Amino acid sequence: MRIDDLRALALFDGLTDDQLGQLIDDGAELAVEIGRELFREGEHADFWWVLVDGSIDLMRHVGRETTLVGKMLPGLWAGGFRAWDEHGVYLATGVGASAGRVLRVPAGALRDRFNAWFPFGQHFIEGLYGTARAIESTARQRESLVTLGRLAAGLAHEINNPAAAAVRAADALEAECQTLLASLGTLARAEISAGQFTALDELRREIQPPADHDPLAVADREDALSSWVAGRGIEHEWLIAPPLAAAGVDLDWCERVAAVLAGPPLESGLKWVASTLSAATLLAEVKDSTRRISELVAAVKSYSQMDRSSMQRIDVTEGIESTLTMLAHKLRDGVSVVRDYGPDVPAVEVHAGELNQVWTNLIDNAIDAMHGSGTLRITTRAEDDDVLIEIADTGPGMPPDVAARAFEAFFTTKDIGKGTGLGLDIARRIVVERHAGTIAIDSQQGETVLRVRLPVRPPARRT
């Protein structure tokens, strides 16, 4: 490799020919061949790689897949981190994308040259690299833990309600079943005929609960039924009248039952009918509660993308809806959600789990901005070869200087302990670097809109 080869690269501006010659002597020229692996993610970064010509793809393991995260072109470099940190590793795997050459310099030699040529720069880079790595690692870990804790608390709250309802309904159902069996035993001991029981059962089947549940109408029916039952000397009318009233039973129906079961069997007959109605209502509550729990579990699976490949073709509304389910505990009090999903929005090829993290950060920020009261508007529509997603809130808006810095790592306007400043930075990295999309903020007084634009297909797949 010649000095002129390196002189052509802006990376080496300011170095003398002697210094460039020393780098060439320290290192070695290697050929870049298509498909050839030059360095591997996670291994010690023992060499500094400077691309002279050709190109190198940078690949990383994400979940269960290997994904292209960047490309090295002439003048760019990778590795060599052990010159400043003994634990430094390659952040990606370098694979030849087009034929060329690379200068490979041992990290130890790079450290020696820095010490000789830029002694202050050596200490500066060591401090900068170590501090940045420690801060980012800690902050990202905290962001993940905070997000996980917030989602776990919300999910526990969401599951607790239907679970508690199911337990209460099951306990009440047990009591109703005992009442039902006791009333059947009483009817048997009263020696009513088979015809009487058949007629009673037919009257029970006639009952059709009203479609509209008017509390005032139910209360009026309950008062009337209680008076009717008590007037016939039947005790415990408060156990009989409420389920009959809720099912829409009127006095005419009661008179028909009295005609079938005259005398003492009337009480047991009414209790049996009331118990069957209560049991049916409680069973419906159990089914509804367990269905809700099942839906929450399905939402969690959709959100976490369990048992699914990393890159997949999805409807973006599926991920948005599962995120809304995960954050439902924050939407109850005063936040209303307006969904404006376009009817012709195509599926997009994305890393679905990562995209759900974007929706979590954007929606959570929007809810926080409204301080518990406002409107969250989510819009999706197709534009050319892209899908546009807008997440808008009716909060106070961002000042221009804040909006300009919103995507910077560690920048936050939240109080200490309430934010790490990584939410929007992570969203930007996922949208822009992982999916070749764009993300932007349009903020004014009373409204802030986050616009995410995703290509329907990754650029490499377009024809």
Q: How many CB atoms lie within 10 A of CB 310?
A: 17
DSSP-derived 3-state class of residue 194: helix
Residues 45 and 164 grouped into a single domain: no
Backbone dihedral angles phi then psi of residue 189, each to the nearest 5 degrees: -70, -25
Residue 255 identity (one-letter amino acid):
E
Residue 336 maps to a domain? yes
Q: Report d(CA 291, CA 207) in Å as an integer.
A: 26
Whether the model pTM is above 0.75: no
Q: Report d(CA 154, CA 206) in Å as an integer.
A: 43
Nearest CA among 396, 420, 410, 349 for reference residue 146: 420
| Among candidate residues 253, 271, 295, the one where a domain is terminated | 295
Q: What is the pLDDT of residue 306?
A: 47
Residue 277 maps to a domain? yes
Q: Which residue has the tokens 């300011």?
A: 14
Residues 257 and 326 grouped into a single domain: no
Q: Are 57 and 71 in contact (CB under 8 A)?
A: yes
Q: Report d(CA 173, CA 165) in Å as an integer.
A: 12
Residues 214 and 287 grouped into a single domain: yes
Q: What is the pLDDT of residue 421?
A: 45
First to last CA, the chain: 38
Backbone dihedral angles phi then psi of residue 15, each to the nearest 5 degrees: -85, 145
Q: Are 36 and 55 in contact (CB under 8 A)?
A: no
Query: Residue 262 belongs to what domain range?
Result: 159-295
Q: Report d(CA 356, CA 302) in Å as an integer.
A: 9
Residue 140 maps to a domain? no
Q: Which H, E and C letters describe 344-365, residue by residue?
A: CCCCEEEEHHHHHHHHHHHHHH
pLDDT tens string, the chain, 463 residues long: the values are 899 999 999 888 888 999 999 999 999 999 999 999 999 988 888 999 999 999 999 988 765 677 788 889 999 999 888 887 777 788 889 999 999 999 999 999 988 888 888 765 555 565 555 555 554 555 555 555 555 566 666 667 677 778 888 888 888 888 888 888 888 888 888 878 889 999 999 999 999 888 777 888 889 999 999 999 999 888 878 889 999 999 999 999 999 999 999 888 998 999 999 999 999 888 888 888 888 777 777 666 666 554 455 678 889 998 898 888 878 877 877 889 999 999 889 999 888 878 888 898 899 889 888 988 899 999 999 998 899 999 999 999 888 888 888 887 655 655 444 444 456 887 888 898 888 899 999 998 889 999 999 998 766 544 3
Residues 340 and 454 grouped into a single domain: yes
Residues 339 and 279 grouped into a single domain: no
Nearest CA among 299, 308, 300, 295 for reference residue 352: 308
Residues 266 and 326 grouped into a single domain: no
| Among candidate residues 295, 321, 344, the one where a domain is terminated | 295
Q: Which residue has the tokens 């050929």?
A: 31
Instruction: Find the angle CA(316)-CA(456)-CA(426) to the nearest 5 degrees.
Output: 60
Measured over the CA atoms of residue 281, residue 283, residue 287 and residue 290, the dihedral's sign is positive
Eight-class DSSP state of 89: B
Residue 160 identity (one-letter amino acid):
N
Number of domains in the chain: 3
Residues 385 and 429 grouped into a single domain: yes
Residue 305 maps to a domain? no
Residue 206 maps to a domain? yes
Residues 454 and 341 grouped into a single domain: yes
Residue 125 maps to a domain? no
Q: How many CB atoms lie within 10 A of CB 438?
A: 15
Residues 89 and 222 grouped into a single domain: no
Nearest CA among 460, 135, 120 for reference residue 311: 460
What CATH number is attached to the domain comprising 95? 2.60.120.10
Residue 304 maps to a domain? no
Q: What is the pLDDT of residue 297?
A: 73
Q: What is the pLDDT of residue 417?
A: 43
Q: What is the pLDDT of residue 17?
A: 92
Q: Report d(CA 328, CA 155) in Å as an integer.
A: 8
How many Å separate Cα 123 from the centre of its chain?
Answer: 42
Q: What is the pLDDT of residue 21?
A: 93
Residue 131 maps to a domain? no
Residue 409 identity (one-letter amino acid):
A
What CATH number is attached to the domain comprising 335? 3.30.565.10
Q: What is each CA distance from 64 to 4, 59, 440, in whole angstroms?
A: 43, 13, 30
Q: Report d(CA 238, CA 225) in Å as an integer.
A: 10
| Among candidate residues 295, 319, 353, the one where a domain is terminated | 295
Residues 314 and 457 grouped into a single domain: yes
Q: What is the pLDDT of residue 38?
A: 95
Q: Are 107 and 82 in contact (CB under 8 A)?
A: yes
Residues 281 and 234 grouped into a single domain: yes
Residues 324 and 276 grouped into a single domain: no
